[in-house]
Amino acid sequence: MGTSKMMMKKTIGILGGISWESTFSYLKIINRLVRSSTGGVHSPKILLSTIDFGEILPLYHNDTLEKCVPQLIRHARKIERGGADILLIASNTMHKFYYEISQSITIPVLHIVDCLANDIRPNNASKVALLGTQITMEHSFYKNMFANKYGVDLIVPDVSDRIVVNQIILEELCAGIISHSSKMVIQEIIGTLSQEAEGVILGCTELQLLVTNDDVDVHLFDSTAIHAKAAVDWAICD
């Protein structure tokens, strides 16, 4: 595949800010992939609209996250009006509201679970562990899609570990805090899960800031990188 023939003809829309740390990772990954695919100094066509995570976090803690749906829809429509050809929701947790968002606009919304499943299936993994916020790990929207659409069984840490992972994500990673002690905790949790799982999904877009495949003995499926790559693959045409 010659790089001289590759062109990015479509515009990627990103609904970000949840948190901006992971949004930055999306931008970095997409830019690097486009440059490596197209050559030279080409950069991607991106429309970005970000939410103030400071307004969202209290809704996590109060278990009233659905109150943010109108705001998510407003941002999605803004991105569509700007001319985006596809939308990425740059947050695993906010995929809880995928259908509300996707039904409010006419451009396709690239579901993060579909992207992950396409990466997991070639590895022939039928049981995979999931790390993310408590909402992602405990609510049905993520697990059910994997089970019903792809036949992949997701397991999660025990209750105490789920609380710890959630705290690390919301109180540290979303604030840009990278702690060595927290990294060791996540590595230990992954080690426990790997005794039963054939791989581990980093099902929070911030977790890749803390741990990578180089840090553990089991394969990690980085949802941020996989989601971003799928968008670039979609947007680049020969």
Tokens of 98: 């995928």
Residue 184 Cα distances to 19, 97, 200, angstroms: 22, 32, 16
* pLDDT digits 0-9 by tens, 40-86: 788 899 999 999 999 999 998 888 999 999 999 999 999 999 999 99
- The fold of 113-223 is Rossmann fold (3.40.50)
Tell me what pLDDT residue 88 has: 98
* pLDDT digits 0-9 by tens, 35-49: 888 877 888 999 999
Domain 3-111+226-237 class?
alpha beta
- Are 3-111+226-237 and 113-223 equal in CATH topology? yes
Mean pLDDT of the chain: 92
Tokens of 227: 């989601």
> At a CB cut-off of 8 Å and minimum separation 6, what does 54 contact?
none
Q: Show the CA angle centred on residue 127, arms to residues 124 and 132, nearest 5°.
A: 115
* pLDDT digits 0-9 by tens, 150-184: 999 999 999 999 999 999 999 999 988 999 999 99
> At a CB cut-off of 8 Å and minimum separation 6, what does 1 contact?
none
Segments making up each domain of the chain, as ranges:
3-111+226-237, 113-223
Tokens of 75: 């941002």
Cα–Cα distance measured from residue 103 to residue 69, given in angstroms and rounded to the nearest whole number: 12
Tokens of 6: 């590759």
Average pLDDT value for residue range 137-143:
94
Taking a C-beta distance cutoff of 8 angstroms, is the pair 174, 19 a contact? yes
What is the distance between the terminal CA atoms of the chain, rounded to a whole angstrom? Answer: 9
Q: Show the CA angle centred on residue 26, arms to residues 75 and 132, nearest 5°.
A: 85
